[in-house]
Amino acid sequence: MGVDPIRYRPWKGERTALNLRVYVILKSIFRHGLKSIGVKILLILSFLFVYAFGFMDVILFGSETLDAEKMSSNFNAFNLTLFAMLLAAVITSDLISEDLSSRSFVLYFSRAIKTRDYLVGKAGGAILIMSLLCFLPPVLLAVVSILTQSGSDYWSSIKVLGSTMVAGALAAVFFVPYGLMLSSITNRRSYAAVGTFMSFMVLTIISEMFVEIDPAWSVIGPARSLSAAVDWIFGLPSDIDGGALFAFLALFIIVPAVVLYWRVQRKAVGR
């Protein structure tokens, strides 16, 4: 009986587009995050402590126009920053560390996917979840305020709505790169979560300690710097120097993103 040689048979199906693979990663992270009990609890508590009173005030009493200062105060609230730090620590802690511990990089990069696409999917999923806290509620609050306003100056209200959307997008992105960077440094989810949250808190404590000596120290506090950036977006005055503020924002967002890319790139090639 002869031996039938194994012959190569070309696959006749359709190859999936690269952007679809990125979408699959993003969608998987978003759905997985929404199934988390901790994420659900944080989102519910944040709505009750940060936004519930604002919605009740708008629905019951209304306003003449959408007020920039009042909308900015939603982002400046310490409660929002606290919940945002906790949520970022929870959702980013396992996005890279779990792949490191399970050695899933082989599965990801065995397909035609680049480091950039891998990170876009991971960060995109995290930012979508953060948007449920930082972007969607304030934008809905602004829309409800416009629909129920008693004044006729809708153009000013729409401009405040635009500022709200920009501020919400910044708040949603703000903590994600740093959290992902720490997640790429360790293969233990708990270490990444605690390290992310404690880093934010340490910067906040240092800022509060030294701000009495020199107000310029307030810029290193994530809560203060985010609040100052939101004030700038809404066109409100801030006690933090603009140059120092944007330098810190660049360091806090861009530097972790660069380190994250470098770490994942090295792991992708097996180093």
Question: For residue range 68-126, what is the model confidence (pLDDT) as tens digits?
Answer: 888 888 887 778 888 999 999 999 988 888 877 777 666 666 666 788 888 888 999 99
Which three-class secondary structure state does DSSP give residue 186? coil
CB atoms within 10 A of CB 75: 24
Residue-level pLDDT at 1 = 46
pLDDT one-digit tens code per residue, 138-175? 999 999 999 988 888 889 999 999 999 999 999 999 99
Phi, psi of 110 (to 5 degrees): -75, -20
Over range 225-237, report the average pLDDT: 89
pTM exceeding the 0.75 threshold for the entire prediction:
yes
Return the axis-axis angle of helices 115-134 and 154-174, rounded to nearest 10°.
130
Average per-residue pLDDT for the chain: 84
pLDDT one-digit tens code per residue, 103-116? 766 666 666 678 88
